[in-house]
Amino acid sequence: TWELTRLRVTSRSTDATMSAEGQTKKARVEGSAGAHSALEEMSKDGAFVRTASGFRNIIGESDQFPAEANRYRLYVSYACPWASRCVAVLYLKGLDHAISLYVVHPTWQRTRPDDETDTHCGWVFRRPEDPPLASSTGHGSFTGADCIYDEDNGFATVRAIYEASGDTLHKYSVPVLWDNKARVIVNNESAEIVRMFNSKFNHIARNPGLDLYPEALRSQIDAANDWVYLAINDGVYKCGFAKKQGAYEAAAAALFAGLDKLEAILATQRYLCGSTLTEADIRLFVTLVRFDEVYVVYFKCSRKCLREYPNTLNYLRDVYQIPGIKQSVNMRHIKTHYFTSHPALNT
């Protein structure tokens, strides 16, 4: 059993539309005032309690945010699983020609380097040809390969996007869906962005016939999203972020019980909800593809590797080969981010 050390790690988007997650967010969260990352969002018993996203507008539900081509921009990190699910659906639906994609550098930096009193580290933008960045502690040299810089807006940090939108929560996470006409964040909740991409832009999508949330499967998808989020998507973070041994052991037990359940399900069907690819598979995939490469060591999820689950491993390979999915996976960004951005976890 792993013994825990005090960590400082990255913030993530949430799935606050899920009922089970909403229940977890009722727990008291300590130390989350001011610019912060998700690790400060802790209950008194040392368990990680993810807080809700702050921007929750839905495109197409009012005249304020119409579903128009070339109006919206998606700011992401390839390292972030929550952001990557949005990237995957962007490509699956064929919306990359109508919604611009911008990608941060994988290594966290000081977001206000000229202010000695502000030690917040987070996502920054760089051009691929810019000089390499060291970690926030001055170690290493990491290029901006595959970064995509927004030349029009020139945001230096994701924090700057939030501040331009009047943010008051001070948790500068990705993904961010930005309205470039209204000059404001529309939404930073990945679960809702996925559903907007799935249905709100079909009139301009190259693949409008793909429905990742079909009405006939919605109750099944919602149920799958619920348990997968609690046990697996957020489960790896509950293991990695836990500050007390009891919280870690509870999270690890739930995680591997969830993986055992998944293995049994995939023994009898191709996808999580049967024979049809749905949003539930996208949401699951982004965690699984990072598991052996990062979470086994980084988040101490080492009871078993994913390669020891044959049905789940074959499922992962199957989903990865679907056109559009592979474009959302950048393993160099994934590993560079996790292993360079959080000094307390990597020293």
Q: Can you name the residues that pair with 73 across neighbouring β-strands?
A: 100, 178
Q: Which helix (H) or strand (E) holds 72?
A: strand 72-76
Q: Which amino acid is at 257?
A: A
What's the rounded Cα separation, in Å, for the pair 257 and 137? 37
Positions annotated as catalytic residues are 80, 237
In whole angstroms, give the CA distance from residue 72 to residue 101.
9
What's the alpha-carbon Rg for the chain, to the nearest Å?
Answer: 19
Distance between CA 268 and CA 337 in Å, rounded?
Answer: 36
The span from the CA of 330 to the CA of 88, in Å, is: 12
The runs of H, that is alpha helices, within the chain are 19-24, 81-93, 158-164, 190-199, 218-228, 235-241, 245-265, 279-290, 296-298, 310-320, 331-340
